Structure 1
Amino acid sequence: MADTTRITVTLPTEQVAELKKITDNISGYVAEAVARQIRHQLLGADLRSHTDEHGAFSEEELAEARARIFGTTSAAGGASAA
């Protein structure tokens, strides 16, 4: 199991009430949400770095990425998926 550190986090009462409806493991739920946000920020930084170095992605590259992410073979519906 990964090392952990106990911290105190203050959340709006309404959010805590909703969390308790969703899960009995609020710490695990919050840890997953934080990990997802960190991945999102790192991916964004990587994409910005790539476009700074190589320019904007072509429509073909974007269609291929959508197909890989969403498992589709058609790029037609990809533009409206955002």
Structure 2
Amino acid sequence: MSATTRITVTLPTEQVAELRKLTDNVSGYVAEAVARQIRHQLLGDDLRRHQEEQGAFADEELAEARAKIFGTADRAGHTDAA
């Protein structure tokens, strides 16, 4: 188990009420949300850096990435037409 640090956060009352409806492990839920946001931020930083160094992504590259992310590629590897 990884080390933890106790912190205090302030959230709108409505969010806390909805959060408690969703889980009895608020700390775990918030930790996963923070981890997801960190991954999102780091990925965005990596993508921006890549485009600064290599130029903008081509439409084909973006379509391939979306297919991988959203699982829209068929078994032969072709993407669904959008």
The answer to whether TM tops 0.5 is yes
Do structure 1's residue 3 and structure 2's residue 8 form an aligned pair?
no
Q: Which residue of 1 aligns with 2:81?
A: 76
Q: Which residue of 2 aligns with 1:16?
A: 16
* Residues 48 and 75 (structure 1), Cα distance of their counterparts in 2 relative to 1, 3 Å cut: farther
Unaligned runs of 5+ in 1: 78-82
Query: What does residue range 1-82 of structure 1 map to in structure 2 within 5 Å?
Result: 1-73=1-73, 74-77=79-82
- Distance in 1, Cα, partners of 2:69 & 2:20: 31
Unaligned runs of 5+ in 2: 74-78
Indicate the percent of aligned positions where both proteins have the same amino acid. 78
Q: Which residue of 1 aligns with 2:76?
A: none
Structure 2 length as normaliser, TM-score? 0.89
- Distance in 1, Cα, partners of 2:61 & 2:7: 42
Count of aligned positions: 77
